[in-house]
Structure 1
Amino acid sequence: MTAARRLDRLFCERALLAGGWASGVLLRFDAQGMIAGLEAGLDAPPAGAERAAGPVVPGMPNLHSHAFQRAMVGLTERSGPAEDSFWTWREVMYGFVGRIDPDSLQAVAAMAYAEMLERGYTSVAEFHYLHHDAAGRPYADVAETSKRILAAADAAGIGLTHLPVLYAQGGFGGQPAGEGQRRFLNDPDRLLAIVEACRAAPGGHRTGLALHSLRAVSPDAMAAALNGLSALDPAAPVHIHIAEQTAEVDACLAWSGRRPVEWLLDRGWLGPSWCLVHATHVTPDEVAGIAASGAVAGLCPTTEADLGDGLFPARDFLARGGRFGVGSDSQVIIDAAEELRLLEFGQRLAARRRNLLAPEAGASTGAALYRAAVAGGAQALGLPEPAGGLATGQRADLVVLNPDDPRLYGRNDDMLLDSYVFAGARDAVRDVVAGGRLVVRDGRHVDADAIRKGWRHAVDRLNAA
């Protein structure tokens, strides 16, 4: 567990609440790291209360992470003999993943989580499919690597929704898995055993389940896993990669006669506990179906750009009342504001217009994106929804922005969020509180030295393997 200091009260000169911006806000945190009380309109902080060093906003949930991939950032930026794509990137990833052991996994994940906290994320959904040893054999404890993820989250102090991934085949129609996928493979029973072990572990982490993709799980295996999860917790989050690549869409059509999202909608499974990760290549009818289901679209713009995936039709989706959140996915960039910035900028480049994701004329684009991503991300992680602002009953996750950063200086309220999202202010995050603990102080994780030492040792081992 991180040595971060627990707070019981925080006074904010200015804070973004569920009802909007407010002055003189006192937040009270309970021993479980939740916001237990809130007062606004105070003239001065009560005696003994901590004082925030800048405007306070809700922390951003990171709804999609593969933490181990933090250690391979920069290793895939060489042109291959054929046209590079997601599929060539995947082969490099398969080669890299064979070198990771539980110790290095834990150290790499702790580093990724500390960086997330420093860049404005306060909780994370870990889409975890690295289950077995390099030969594909389960560890003596089938939940060994999942428990290492839990330990990494504890070390960094980030809120965790752990999603053990069902990965059971190599392609549509039960194609056999390749050698590079052998560390990922489970049947529903063994996957549910991992889920149960994580649910029983200490630390108060949220646990759900992920289906890797339609190509990696058969319909029968999906149904078995979903039924088993429902018996444990009917409200548990369910995440799935879907329609990320056009080749995936074409293969799904050849297998089933239906597009990936269309196939899921036909099953009637989708609902508010689901998160559809990427959903890049969708038709207008599929967009309408996702929005109507209440499922969250899990968007990862920096990774989607890095892999050349394409652009999600965000404007149409939001116009239909769709809910979304953002994630760092492959960790090529870890920065909550940058995901939102690239989401809007991608739409601008495609449409050759500006401020496309603002809800109405005159509305702040940055503030609207920030509030929506906080709410959608919380839903995807199974957290009490912040409704775009701080309120009692929520996990005590918040970010103190730095009013002295030159790009934020002189900006207030929604204009402050516009500058935070769009101006690329590298020193924008001053302090971070996660679960009522002060985990980032003056832009640096409180346990940065120890976590970075473990990271360096892990990278040295990986490079030597």
Structure 2
Amino acid sequence: MTRLWFESAFLATGWAKDVAVTIENGVITALVPGSAPTPGDERHALALPGLPNLHSHAFQRAFAGATEVRGPTGDSFWTWREAMYRAVDRMDPEDVEAIAAQAYVEMLEAGFTRVGEFHYLHHDRDGRAYADIGELSTRIAGAAEATGIALTLLPVFYAHSGFGGQVPSHGQRRFINDVESFGRLMGSAARAIAPLPDAVLGLAPHSLRAATVEEIAAILPLTHGPVHIHVAEQMKEVEDCLAWSGRRPVEYLLDSAPVDSRWCLIHATHMTPDETVRMARSGAIAGLCPITEANLGDGIFPAPEFVAAGGAYGVGSDSNVLIDAAGELRQLEYSQRLARRARNVLAMAEGRSTGATLFQSALAGGAQALGGTVGLAVGAPADIVSLDMRHPALEGRQGDAALDGWVFAVAQGSVDCVWRRGTKLVERGRHRDREAVRLRFRAALARIVA
């Protein structure tokens, strides 16, 4: 049994002061506000529930910051994708695991305690399946186990290079499966995550470019877990979908698939007002990755209109170019401010804290999208983040004002400790295995770059 005591804590029921937390077997068994600390309690200032990171491509952390040199004809998502394909060509299973572990350490240090790994790197360098078709899914599970982060594994179905079932390109050879081989991959992934506490298995048709609606229908029964899909990230995707089908991607998806609260639509950046309302009413979560979307020049999601229509959202780190939980929330709000030349856009009502609204929305939306339980409540996993309230932007702040300070006035380094199922993984802002993981990551980079 572990007992923690916090001066204040953001509980599922709201803010509370002087909170004693009892943890047994990784689960919160008691939460008692108004408690005096006892001599054996570990004491901290402020507790938050860990945030879910609903969209990650962990392997892309290997080339973060390495695509920022302008090319001869101007750069876009599509030129970035070619650079990503070249990096993928050089990765072996050991590299994938080492890179994922580095990304997961950084996520935990930033305040993420569960990751949705949208995992589409499946095969060997020549495109052939490994002896265990789920070898690289097993490596992702190994990285999650080693670092302690909760895992929602989303094996990706990827079969085509464009709308209408186009033949995949050479650069996509490590991603490709048909329905039969994907079924075997899902079986291997289920075995890989079975030893992990609270692990969830979902699936992810990569996009309408990479999976036909018939293939999506065929793979949906393979799990009862979450379903994630990229959609309408880029205007070229919208234009290609219109040319092929006469409909826009979100419109086509909603017309052709059973989209409901089980689904998470990643990006959904380019929507008409009608698509925005229809997506909100479907119950699907909008999976927003504001830092990556800004880095790739994707565009700006119509967040106020989506929320006003009843939509829910969460945030993810996607390409992992910068891993920062508070930073994703900040970039989401700032993108809306720039687009509308206004402030406190996503507070959505007079008198509401923007930081607290963003945090609560991402917490609830991320939990729905990843199939995990989040929040500080009896019976929930003890996934807790404490902030260092000595930071100048946090000093003396309480309640929602502390969340506003964390989201908008702190760069990084304000996370003090992180517990995952009651085990302290981060202390004084550093993961307990940070150095060992970094050394393995450095060795992987040396092999990839060489």
**TM-score strictly above 0.5:** yes
Q: Secondary structure at the match of 2:45?
A: coil
Alignment correspondent of 2:18: 24
Structure 1: distance between partners of 2:290 and 2:222: 32
Alignment correspondent of 2:41: 49
Structure 1: distance between partners of 2:399 and 2:183: 45
Structure 2: distance between partners of 1:135 and 1:91: 17
Structure 1: distance between partners of 2:411 and 2:118: 29
Equivalent runs, 1:342-361 vs 2, <5 Å:
342-361=331-350
Equivalent runs, 1:5-404 vs 2, <5 Å:
8-31=2-25, 33-42=26-35, 44-51=36-43, 53-201=44-192, 202-204=195-197, 205-229=199-223, 233=224, 236-386=225-375, 390-404=376-390
Alignment correspondent of 2:393: 407
Q: Contact 1:296–1:322 at 8 Å: present in 2 too?
A: yes
Unaligned runs of 5+ residues in structure 2 are none
Structure 2: distance between partners of 1:397 and 1:85: 38
Q: Contact 2:233–2:269 at 8 Å: present in 1 too?
A: yes
Structure 2: distance between partners of 1:263 and 1:238: 17
Q: How many residues align?
A: 447
Pairwise CA distance, 1:268:
4.8
Q: Contact 2:5–2:42 at 8 Å: present in 1 too?
A: yes
What is the identity, as a one-letter code, of the residue corresponding to 1:320?
A
What is the identity, as a one-letter code, of the residue corresponding to 1:76?
T
Q: Secondary structure at the match of 2:151?
A: strand
Q: Secondary structure at the match of 1:317?
A: helix
What is the identity, as a one-letter code, of the residue corresponding to 1:120?
G
Q: Contact 1:107–1:152 at 8 Å: present in 2 too?
A: yes
Query: What is the TM-score of this pair, normalised by structure 1?
Result: 0.94
Alignment correspondent of 1:444: 430
Tell which deviates more after alignment, 345-354 or 420-429: 420-429
What's the RMSD between the two structures over aligned residues? 1.2
Q: Secondary structure at the match of 2:9?
A: strand
Unaligned runs of 5+ residues in structure 1 are 1-6
Q: Contact 1:192–1:225 at 8 Å: present in 2 too?
A: yes
Structure 2: distance between partners of 1:392 and 1:189: 42
Pairwise CA distance, 1:435:
2.1
Q: Contact 1:407–1:425 at 8 Å: present in 2 too?
A: no
Structure 2: distance between partners of 1:228 and 1:90: 29
Pairwise CA distance, 1:112:
0.3
Q: 1:385 to 1:264 in 2, by over 3 A?
A: farther
Pairwise CA distance, 1:132:
0.3
Structure 1: distance between partners of 2:102 and 2:180: 31
Structure 1: distance between partners of 2:228 and 2:68: 28
Q: Secondary structure at the match of 1:62?
A: strand
TM-superposition CA deviations, 1:105-125 (whole Å, max 9, x none): 100100000000111111100
Tell which deviates more after alignment, 197-206 or 86-95: 197-206
What is the identity, as a one-letter code, of the residue corresponding to 1:10?
L
Q: Contact 1:12–1:23 at 8 Å: present in 2 too?
A: yes
Structure 1 consecutive aligned stretches of length 4 or more whose deviation exceeds 3 Å: none
Q: Contact 2:49–2:374 at 8 Å: present in 1 too?
A: no
Pairwise CA distance, 1:254:
1.4
Structure 1: distance between partners of 2:315 and 2:409: 18
